[in-house]
Amino acid sequence: MKILLISDKISPILYDYFDRERFEDIDLVVSCGDLPADYMDYVVSMLNIPCYFVPGNHDEGFVDNPPQGWIPLDGKLVDHKGITIMGLGGSRRYKNGPQQYSEVEMIWRYLKMKPKIWWKKGQIDILVTHAPAYKLNDLEDTPHKGFKVFRTIIETYNPKYFLHGHVHLSYSQNPRLITHGETTIINGFQHHIFEY
């Protein structure tokens, strides 16, 4: 299965220079948040394949008006053709507003999902978040500091992939891909294609 990952900034290859042939073998799109609704509408209409998303900290409008044609992942565990995908959107709280959480609040969001994880016998194949995990592709400043609970999830359930955004590759020295234990961690800034 070929997955297109998008996050945080419009990709010229997908928008200004879109070539359908370049993306004809994509099976699934995952957004890690902070993308304009009209861009997301464009992506889903051009590719016409299943599209999943978690909201980013700048997606205030998605609270009342989520992007059309996209399947929300935030706080959910979904099954896509036998692959279990878990989503937790938002970032660390640095000002008032939706989609921002303290560490304790994110822990509570995770704990609310534990019965669903138990029902799936602990199978999480892909973890999708907006913010990174603590000390795994995050930064030191409060807005871009990762959540420790995401590390707990990774280290407990060993998902094959952990997909996140939030930390732009244009201003950080972090690589797009790293590994932690058995998990491949991918920063979805702009766009990235990978094979599951």
Mean pLDDT by 10 residues, the chain (196 residues): 97 88 94 95 94 94 85 96 97 92 98 95 97 96 96 98 96 93 97 96
Name which of 130, 186, 129, 124 is nearest 155 in CA terms: 124
Write down the pLDDT at residue 131.
98
Write down the pLDDT at residue 63.
77
CA gap 124, 16 in Å, rounded: 35
Write down the pLDDT at residue 191.
97
Write down the pLDDT at residue 161.
98
CA gap 57, 142 in Å, rounded: 13
Write down the pLDDT at residue 160.
98
**R_g of the chain, CA atoms, integer Å:** 15
Q: How many helices (H) and strands (E) does the chain have?
A: 3, 13
Helices (H), the chain: 37-47, 103-119, 148-157
Question: Token digits for 123?
Answer: 């199978």
Paired residues of 129 in beta bridges: 88
Write down the pLDDT at residue 65.
81
Write down the pLDDT at residue 97.
82
